[in-house]
Structure 1
Amino acid sequence: MSLQSGLPLFLGQLIRSPHKISAIAPSSAALARRMAMELPLDRTGPVVELGAGTGKITRALLEAGVAPDDLHAFELNEEFVDNLRSGFPNIHVHHNKAQEMDQLGLNNVRAVVSGLPFLSMPGSIQHAILRASFKAMGPGGVYIQFTYGPKSPVQDRVSEELALTYTKSETIWGNLPPARVYSFRCAVV
């Protein structure tokens, strides 16, 4: 079985489980490529993708040179998980919550790339996901997150608690809705 086209799979899940889908369309190729551009070049090791969905960002990460055996995709939606496993048989697909990544023994992670809906998450869940991510990455790791909003998707309180700094990209107009990519670093791991 091959990877299903992103839009029909996404729309099917949106219709069947609207409370589990937090976007109006799957990520565009332009957004996926922009996220992959943020991978640090001075580090090696596994890359973790959170909320892999239809695999658009997964494909961009592989095209950017991430080895399939180094890519760990986390997804909660069972149909997306099945689709990712069939379409990308050589990557590691985890049917787990993002905040549980540190329980899987992942360490020395190069980067965490997230398609999670941070704007709709409570601060406690944001904190748990970011903490697990930076624990898996260690010093020098980068957490790459996109958002549709006009400001950082991480709540100010969470950002302060974790001593986060960030850079943000230009607006990616080729995405629906337009998005920005934020790259977070943690001063204290």
Structure 2
Amino acid sequence: MPGVTGLRKAFAERFDDEMRFFKGWLHRPKAVGSIIPTSSVTARKMATVIDPSSGLPVLELGPGTGVITKAILERGVRPQDLHTVEYAPEFVTHLRRTFPDVDVIHGDAFNLNETLRDMPGTMFDSVISGVPLLNFPVATRVRYVEDLLDRLPLGRPIVQLTYGPKSPVPPGRGSYSVEHFRFVLRNIPPTQLWIYRRRKPN
């Protein structure tokens, strides 16, 4: 039966993704925030902040197995307009095989001047971040957001997922605003989504 075969294939692919993610977590627990991938529900919520008609590329950080990458493409972003930065080499290999037309960059999201050295001065429509910020000091998280906002037009968002109850980047530490976007129960563990934007000058 075609329906049963398709269902089995979907379950097998999901299982493969979860095992790949779990192995990545075992090897690099600080770089991988959870032992299983982000849910498709969370991924679709994150992708809604993108404006596909802006004419600007999108930057994704910490894509893991590509659940959010898939949602970004389904949002209407052309593969050649998506630049995704992944630190773990095993995930990079998987992403390049799964999304051959996406610009998958092996690099450090905390050092984008080096990681994006081949595209200096590029402005992005938005940033979709799955980097586990709670694994890093607060000062590092603030620098991370400030650097990203320098790469966005005024008012355009960074959307960040986290498994903690509060924003991983506290307000009042820089020239950015903090907005709670969504609480997603259909994720393991349940996920909070936060949005950061550059504050408009007074």
TM range (shorter): 0.7 to 0.9
Matched, 1:160 2:172: yes
* Residue in 2 that maps onto 1:142: 157
* Residue in 2 that maps onto 1:51: 62
Higher relative contact order (CA 8 A, sep 6+): 1
**What's the TM-score, normalizing by structure 2?**
0.82
Q: State how 1:71-90 maps to structure 2 within 5 Å.
A: 71-90=82-101
* Residue in 2 that maps onto 1:13: 24
Alignment partners' CA distance in 2, 1:40 and 1:181: 18
How many residue pairs get aligned? The number is: 184
* Residue in 2 that maps onto 1:121: 136
CA drift at 1:50: 0.6
Alignment partners' CA distance in 2, 1:72 and 1:65: 14
Q: Which 5+ residue runs of structure 2 have no aligned equivalent?
A: 1-12
Alignment partners' CA distance in 2, 1:152 and 1:78: 28
Q: Deviations over 1:109-148 (max 9, x none)?
A: 1001000111221123212321221111132221110111
Alignment partners' CA distance in 2, 1:55 and 1:123: 27
Q: Which 5+ residue runs of structure 1 have no aligned equivalent?
A: none
Alignment partners' CA distance in 2, 1:143 and 1:16: 28
Alignment partners' CA distance in 2, 1:40 and 1:185: 15
Q: Which has the larger radius of gyration?
A: 2
The amino acid across from 1:176 in the alignment is: I
Matched, 1:187 2:199: yes
Alignment partners' CA distance in 1, 2:79 and 2:89: 21
Matched, 1:32 2:43: yes
Alignment partners' CA distance in 2, 1:85 and 1:6: 14
* Residue in 2 that maps onto 1:94: 105
Deviation above 4 Å: which 4+ runs of structure 1? none
**2:184 match: secondary structure:** coil
Structure 1 residue corresponding to 2:148, chosen from 128, 133, 140: 133
Alignment partners' CA distance in 2, 1:175 and 1:76: 23
Percent identical: 33
CA contact (8 A) 2:123 2:151 kept: yes
Quickly say closer, same or farther: Cα 1:100–1:18, change in 2 above 3 A.
closer
CA contact (8 A) 2:128 2:159 kept: yes
RMSD of equivalent CA atoms: 2.2
Quickly say closer, same or farther: Cα 1:120–1:91, change in 2 above 3 A.
same
Structure 1 residue corresponding to 2:125, chosen from 87, 104, 110: 110
**What's the TM-score, normalizing by structure 1?**
0.87
